[in-house]
Structure 1
Amino acid sequence: MDEQASSASVRRTRFSLIWLIPVVVVAVAAWLAWTTLSSRGPEITITFDTADGITAGQTQVKHKAVALGTVENVGLSKDLKTVVIRVRMNAQAAPFLTSNAQFWVVRPRLSGATVSGLDTLVSGAYIAVDPGAPGGTQQSEFVGKESPPGVRSDEPGRTYTLMTDEIGSISQGAPVFFRDVVVGEVLGYTMPPGGRGPIPIKVFVREPYDRYLRADTRFWNVSGIRASFNGGSLHIEVESLQAVLSGGVAFGLPEQRRSKDAPSAPDNAVFKLYASKDDADSAGYRDRIPMVTYFKNSVKGIDAGSPVTMFGLQIGSVTGVSLQLDKAKGTARVRVAMEIQPERVLPDDLDAPATIESTARALVNNGLRAETGTGNLITGSSEISLAFVPNDTPASISMEGDAIVLPSKAGGVSGIMESVSAVADKIAAMPLTQIGENLNNLLAHTDSTVNGPQMRQALASLTETLKSVQHLSQHADQGITPLMQRLPAIADQLQGAVTHANAALAAYGGDSDFHHSLQQTLDQLNETARSVRLLADFISRHPSALLLGRHKP
């Protein structure tokens, strides 16, 4: 039976699919570990003044909305003055962590009229990074900025420096205008050493507008609202609402007639910032003629920058006003220095010194004088006016170095007061007391003469004479009345005689001497009769003519 017993068989162990699960898990874990380690970048520290809005494990570091790292820890520095933030960056950001990189916290921000970071109201604050220009040294410690930089490293354009004595309302982020178009922004400003001297302002102009800047380009301040009185009317200029709130600067090109094809302005070029566009335009005139005048009257309202006008047109500006005292003579006067800009309105051939001097001499000989005038009654500003004064005292020009000295004359209110003062001096010089005494003496002598015995006797004699004339007129009227009544009858008789004589003459006829003589006699009788009639008519109308004679018209 043992021999017949069958032998036992051994079954082979088969591979189970369930064993693949741990293999896959290990593989995935290894892959995740490799991926994490391969993408893991360096750890950096960033120092900020405050950690407002930053949360460890949540706040990310971004560039152009792409996450480059995450904040791992937020802590204070040893001196408790700053906040130290440890950030784990990914491998993609490693090449950009150089000395040119800039970090800042993006949160809702209002700067002037610009609002930024509104998206962080929903997503929360984050740390933005600008890699900066290529190059730089690798580093792991950075100092973060409290405000975004004005210029990004990937934004094409150029940076320039503006020098000014006063910045006004210009602030960081203020716009830069070119022909009312925003072409850049103000990056910031720094105070000069010791607080003295011009203040440098950094501005950035984007492409392609930076190509318009040349060596003769002029910048001016457009902050706020500007009001001026021109042509008797009020002019208000506003660049934009943003310029009103945060300030701003603008630049322009010089006029073509004054352009000399200046070269393009290089990066970091330095320009002067003028207070207004008028000042910038005035600075563009290259030709300047220095002139000086002296006043002995008030020059209130005249200071550096006041306009110099001729026939109401500005031809220059005042460069300085100073008071000069003569201790020896005990006199004082005001020296006003001016610069005439012939390119404004004068002929182009006024460039040679000899021509300028001869022209000024001819103008002064014809009465040209420098006067103070009122530029604006509301603002109280004044100006120097070059005007022709007729019948003025002859004067001539002189030279004070290379400056032409023009004669002056008080103008405006001062001129009126000077004229009134001259009239008052003439009145004061009159012997009014002596004239009054003479008038009193004349009136006294007149009164004594009128009330004297001779005048009373003359009046009595005149009264008697008038009575006699009246009596004579009455008797003459009584005697003349019959004669006047007979004059018409006499005239009628003479006319009848002439009529009969003419009839007899016509009957006689002939051309003898007797006929001619008789004709002449009749003509004379006719004239006599006419005269008698005229006499009768005149005496009827003017009977007093018999005593007083005929009145001559």
Structure 2
Amino acid sequence: MTNTPATSSAPKLSAVWLIPLLALLIGAWLMYSNIAGKGPVITLMMENAEGITAGKTAVKTRNVQVGLVESVRLSDDLTHTLLSVQMQAGTERMLLEDTQFWIVKPRVDREGISGLSTVLSGAYIELLPGTDGRPPRAYSVNDSPPPQLTGDGLFLTLVSDVGSSVDTGDPVNYRNLRVGRVVDTQFDPAEKVFRHQLFIEEPYDVLVTQTSRFWEVSGMGFKLGAEGFEAQIGSLETLVGGGVSFAVPDPNMSLGPPAEDGDTFTLYPDEEAARRALYSQTLDYVLMIEGSVRGLRPGAPVEYRGVRVGTVETVAWGFGYEGPSSMQQDPVPVLIRLEPQRQAQRTEVPMSRWETEIAAMVDGGLRASLETGSLLTGALIVTLDFYTGVAPATLEQTYRSVPVFPTVDGSGISKIEDQISTLLTTLNNLPFNELANNLNQNLETMASVAQQLDTLVANPALHSLPQEAGNSLIALQEVLDSWRGDENGAAFRELQTTLQKLNQMIDRATPVLDTLNERPNALIFQDSAAPDPQPRAQHP
């Protein structure tokens, strides 16, 4: 019998090992998913970490979370805080050199109330994706949103002097219609000016032209000048924080070509200053005022028969520049500026023609004078008009290389002051001492008369006079009563008989009186004889 070798079967893999293998694969997948789902880790710098909580504060863009603050620590020099932020996958393209971050939290400013949603959820960091450059080692986080530098509209730059109240977030209005915002305000210490960046939204950007002028709006303003009292009240938004307004202040001026993106304009303090800036072609003259110029202010109007044709530029222009003695000898120079564009209603004006015609008008009697513009404020204005009988004058005389415009005495406040001064001088010259002495003598005489009158009133005889007069009246009344009561007495009968005889005599004399009335000569001549009878024939 042969022996056959025994065959052994190969060991089989138990199904138990499938469980740990599956767990290993799942773990590897989860690890890969976790690593693949994470983006870069960036560092943010802040002045302080107010409202920031590690593991809770999110980084968002357009209200979508793209990162989470993992840790908060101080910098090595202890001057600021450093935030370590884990960004999500796919955010690398957002993190460039011009990427900006700012903190979003409840805020009340000129633009209104913002960030109310963070009252319950807490503050978060907003990200504005960049467009160019390589990512830096760390980003700075601002306290407020950056200025809007992109969008559909027009970006302009305004330049203003120190003292401007315009700030970031202020509205930009076109005749009380909000059309944009001030997106940035920077101060240039080298030139000592403010530079404001404006954004005008579409479709209002077409309203801005090269002739447009910008001025500050304070919300509420009051002006008391030569033209009277003027009040300006803007919108509620400008009442709170002010703003900027623009337009072509003079409707007679052409609009000009449209403004282009990035153009620079000047920001004027008020609308009148912006309107005057439109008139680039001007004629300067000097008025030599002999009297006082009190009440005349720069900016006062120059009018021709009530129509404004210019502006007072400087009062006491170069007055006394030659020394104190010149202030006593020379009149007060006033620089005025005629603005032909106000009347020409166009941008370009033939200045040579205006100069020639004004010189001819001066030769024909055109003169300047100071007149009262407002009795309430005492402000003066300069008026131009034609006068007859004035001395001949030309524009050949100059003062500091500027033609001198001839003047005449006006009827301004100075004239009223002179009249008041003359009246006071007349009052001072009155003989008040003599008038006072005469008044004292008259008062003494009146006192003496009053004393004599008191003595007369105190006389007892004067007191008995009314009683005696009353007794006399009573006696007279008794006599009259006795006459009326004694109807059957002798006196009454005698009086009645006399009256009857008088009546009879009057009745008898009445015909005689009538005859005398008709023929006054009746007492001398008798009545005319009767006419002779006419003879008549006897008939058989």
The one-character-per-residue Cα deviations of 1:55-106 (angstroms, maximum 9, x if unpaired) are 1111111110111111122111222221111212223221121121111100
1:246 alignment partner, one of 241, 245, 249: 241
- 1:193 Cα offset (Å): 2.4
**Is the CA contact 2:74–2:81 (under 8 Å) kept in the aligned structure 1?**
yes
- 1:112 Cα offset (Å): 2.3
Q: Distance in 2 between matches of 1:329 and 1:13?
A: 125
Q: Distance in 2 between matches of 1:328 and 1:179?
A: 49
| SS of residue paired to 2:196 | strand
**2:336 maps to 1:341:** no
| SS of residue paired to 2:334 | strand
Partner of 1:373: 372
Deviates more, 1:59-68 or 1:161-170: 161-170
Q: Distance in 1 between matches of 2:282 and 2:230?
A: 29
Partner of 1:161: 157
Query: What are structure 2's unaligned runs of at least 5 residues?
Result: 435-516, 535-540
Partner of 2:510: none
**Relative to 1, partners in 2 of residues 1:45 and 1:375: Cα closer, same or farther, differing over 3 Å?**
farther
**Relative to 1, partners in 2 of residues 1:138 and 1:11: Cα closer, same or farther, differing over 3 Å?**
closer
The one-character-per-residue Cα deviations of 1:396-447 (angstroms, maximum 9, x if unpaired) are 342434545231435422112234557889x79x9x99xx9xxxxxxxxxxx
- 1:228 Cα offset (Å): 3.8
**Is the CA contact 2:249–2:271 (under 8 Å) kept in the aligned structure 1?**
no
**Is the CA contact 1:163–1:272 (under 8 Å) kept in the aligned structure 2?**
yes
**Is the CA contact 1:289–1:403 (under 8 Å) kept in the aligned structure 2?**
no
**2:416 maps to 1:416:** yes
Give the counterpart letter for 1:144 in structure 2: V
| SS of residue paired to 2:91 | helix
**Relative to 1, partners in 2 of residues 1:106 and 1:79: Cα closer, same or farther, differing over 3 Å?**
same
Q: Distance in 2 between matches of 1:347 and 1:182?
A: 28
Q: Distance in 1 between matches of 2:192 and 2:374?
A: 31
Q: Distance in 1 between matches of 2:47 and 2:169?
A: 21
Q: Distance in 2 between matches of 1:362 and 1:190?
A: 50
Partner of 2:406: 406
**Is the CA contact 2:212–2:255 (under 8 Å) kept in the aligned structure 1?**
no
Partner of 1:308: 302
**2:349 maps to 1:353:** no
Partner of 1:99: 97
Deviates more, 1:34-43 or 1:22-31: 22-31
**2:266 maps to 1:272:** yes
- 1:388 Cα offset (Å): 4.4
| SS of residue paired to 2:341 | coil
- 1:108 Cα offset (Å): 0.6
1:224 alignment partner, one of 214, 219, 222: 219
- 1:381 Cα offset (Å): 6.9
Q: Distance in 1 between matches of 2:200 and 2:238?
A: 16
1:185 alignment partner, one of 181, 188, 192: 181
- The correspondence of residues 13-412 of structure 1 with structure 2, limited to 5 A, is 16=15, 21-112=19-110, 114-132=112-130, 134-151=131-148, 153=150, 155-193=151-189, 197-228=192-223, 235-253=230-248, 257-259=252-254, 261-262=256-257, 264-322=258-316, 324-325=319-320, 327=325, 330-345=328-343, 351-359=350-358, 361-362=360-361, 365-366=364-365, 368-375=367-374, 377=376, 380=377, 382-386=379-383, 388=385, 393-394=390-391, 396-399=393-396, 400=398, 401=401, 403=403, 405-412=405-412
| SS of residue paired to 1:344 | helix
| SS of residue paired to 2:25 | helix
Q: Distance in 1 between matches of 2:342 and 2:265?
A: 23
**Relative to 1, partners in 2 of residues 1:381 and 1:306: Cα closer, same or farther, differing over 3 Å?**
farther
Give the counterpart letter for 1:151 in structure 2: Q
**Relative to 1, partners in 2 of residues 1:275 and 1:364: Cα closer, same or farther, differing over 3 Å?**
farther
Q: Distance in 1 between matches of 2:158 and 2:80?
A: 33
Give the counterpart letter for 1:307 in structure 2: P
Give the counterpart letter for 1:156 in structure 2: D
Q: Distance in 2 between matches of 1:13 and 1:345?
A: 112
**Is the CA contact 1:294–1:408 (under 8 Å) kept in the aligned structure 2?**
no
**Relative to 1, partners in 2 of residues 1:244 and 1:392: Cα closer, same or farther, differing over 3 Å?**
farther
| SS of residue paired to 1:394 | coil
Give the counterpart letter for 2:129 in structure 1: P
Deviates more, 1:312-321 or 1:54-63: 312-321
**Is the CA contact 2:365–2:392 (under 8 Å) kept in the aligned structure 1?**
no
TM-score with structure 2 length normalisation? 0.69
**Is the CA contact 1:216–1:254 (under 8 Å) kept in the aligned structure 2?**
no
Give the counterpart letter for 1:201 in structure 2: H
Q: Distance in 1 between matches of 2:224 and 2:389?
A: 32
The one-character-per-residue Cα deviations of 1:5-39 (angstroms, maximum 9, x if unpaired) are xx9998996864x7655444333332332222223
**Relative to 1, partners in 2 of residues 1:93 and 1:383: Cα closer, same or farther, differing over 3 Å?**
farther
Query: What are structure 1's unaligned runs of at least 5 residues?
Result: 437-487, 508-553
**Relative to 1, partners in 2 of residues 1:385 and 1:141: Cα closer, same or farther, differing over 3 Å?**
same
| SS of residue paired to 1:92 | coil
Q: Distance in 1 between matches of 2:239 and 2:203?
A: 26
- 1:343 Cα offset (Å): 3.5
**Is the CA contact 1:43–1:140 (under 8 Å) kept in the aligned structure 2?**
no
**Is the CA contact 1:177–1:183 (under 8 Å) kept in the aligned structure 2?**
yes
| SS of residue paired to 1:315 | strand
**Is the CA contact 2:47–2:80 (under 8 Å) kept in the aligned structure 1?**
yes
**Is the CA contact 1:357–1:404 (under 8 Å) kept in the aligned structure 2?**
no
Give the counterpart letter for 1:314 in structure 2: R
**Relative to 1, partners in 2 of residues 1:226 and 1:395: Cα closer, same or farther, differing over 3 Å?**
farther
TM-score with structure 1 length normalisation? 0.67
| SS of residue paired to 2:139 | strand
**Relative to 1, partners in 2 of residues 1:300 and 1:72: Cα closer, same or farther, differing over 3 Å?**
farther
**Is the CA contact 2:253–2:345 (under 8 Å) kept in the aligned structure 1?**
no
**Relative to 1, partners in 2 of residues 1:374 and 1:38: Cα closer, same or farther, differing over 3 Å?**
same
The one-character-per-residue Cα deviations of 1:87-133 (angstroms, maximum 9, x if unpaired) are 1222322112112111110011111251111111121111111114x
What is the count of residue pairs matched by the alignment? 436
Q: Distance in 2 between matches of 1:385 and 1:421?
A: 24
Q: Distance in 2 between matches of 1:85 and 1:13?
A: 56
**Relative to 1, partners in 2 of residues 1:375 and 1:289: Cα closer, same or farther, differing over 3 Å?**
farther
Q: Distance in 2 between matches of 1:44 and 1:416?
A: 79
**Is the CA contact 2:111–2:169 (under 8 Å) kept in the aligned structure 1?**
no
The one-character-per-residue Cα deviations of 1:202-228 (angstroms, maximum 9, x if unpaired) are 222233333432222211101231224
| SS of residue paired to 1:216 | coil
Q: Distance in 2 between matches of 1:318 and 1:234?
A: 19
Partner of 1:516: none
- 1:189 Cα offset (Å): 2.5
**Is the CA contact 2:106–2:118 (under 8 Å) kept in the aligned structure 1?**
yes
Give the counterpart letter for 2:208 in structure 1: L
**Relative to 1, partners in 2 of residues 1:48 and 1:414: Cα closer, same or farther, differing over 3 Å?**
same
Deviates more, 1:322-331 or 1:311-320: 322-331
Q: Distance in 2 between matches of 1:403 and 1:23?
A: 106
CA RMSD of aligned residues (A): 4.1
